[in-house]
């Protein structure tokens, strides 16, 4: 591993376990539409795929279905109202970010979640003033895997990409980091679908638990 001075995290499925609240929102919409709810174990792996991914799982609809916009609006409304119902830092992650802070290593967040959902979640978890940057899916004109949010984060924290580690639980996270020569880490404890093959992401490292990050400090 190269020397590093900053660690940047994906949000859903990497830093914070948001799947329970996303599952609640999806099942609430399914109930309202007279559809059977889905078991949590089926929803969890697609929790990082946004509202469209969740609705595709629940209703079998894709981005060009006319029914999608109202269902998406309703799902996001329910989720926004229940955004910290059960969501919390992954086990061990508080120890990790505390250790980073004690070691004077900058840390921040880069997510594809839109700011109107990211900001209240980060605030409720009391991370707003701890994170050196919070880059949401609509902070820049493009979202991951495009390099724009990664470059923006580097500018905000005033660190070179080469001195940063980016940790994420999806192929787009690793691709985004590699696009600007960040060191990349695949979070295998996150929302990895059974059809995913993290070995194909070509991350520099992989971890099975957040506390594995501490071995680099």
Positions annotated as catalytic residues are 10, 12
Q: What is d(CA 145, CA 205) in angstroms, rounded to the nearest whole number?
A: 18
CB 138 within 8 A of CB 145: no
Assess whether the previous peptide bond of 145 is cis (omega < 30° from 0): yes
- Give the list of residues 6+ apart from residue 80 with CB closer than 8 angstroms, or none: 116, 117, 120
CB 182 within 8 A of CB 7: no
In Å, how far are 15, 17, 18, 133 from 38, measured between CA atoms?
25, 18, 16, 35
**Axis crossing angle, helix 50-59 with helix 68-81, rounded to the nearest 10:** 110
- Give the list of residues 6+ apart from residue 134 with CB closer than 8 angstroms, or none: 108, 109, 111, 118, 119, 122, 128
Q: What is d(CA 133, CA 156) in angstroms, rounded to the nearest whole number?
A: 7
State the DSSP string of 68-130. HHHHHHHHHHHHHHTTTSS-EEPTTHHHHHHHHHHTT-EEEEE-SS-HHHHHHHHHHTT-TTT
């Amino acid at each position: 591993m190269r020397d590093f001075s900053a660690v940047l995290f994906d949000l859903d499925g990497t830093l914070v376990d948001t799947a329970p609240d996303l599952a609640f929102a999806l099942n609430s919409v399914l109930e309202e539409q007279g559809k059977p709810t889905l078991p949590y174990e089926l929803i969890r792996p697609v929790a990082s795929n946004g509202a469209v991914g969740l609705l595709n799982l629940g209703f079998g609809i894709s981005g060009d279905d006319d029914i999608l916009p109202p269902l998406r609006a309703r799902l996001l409304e329910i989720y926004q109202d229940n955004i910290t119902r059960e969501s919390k830092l992954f086990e061990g992650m508080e120890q990790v970010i505390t250790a980073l802070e004690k070691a004077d290593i900058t840390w921040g967040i880069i997510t594809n979640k839109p700011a109107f959902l990211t900001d209240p979640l980060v605030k409720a978890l009391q991370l707003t003033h701890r994170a050196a940057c919070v880059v949401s899916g609509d902070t820049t004109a493009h979202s991951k895997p495009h390099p724009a949010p990664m470059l923006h984060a580097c500018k905000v924290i005033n660190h070179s990409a080469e001195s940063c580690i980016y940790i994420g639980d999806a192929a787009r996270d690793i691709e985004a980091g590699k696009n600007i020569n960040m060191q990349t880490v695949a979070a295998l404890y996150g929302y990895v679908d059974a059809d995913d093959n993290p070995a194909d992401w070509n991350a520099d490292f992989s971890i099975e638990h957040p506390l594995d990050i501490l071995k680099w400090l």
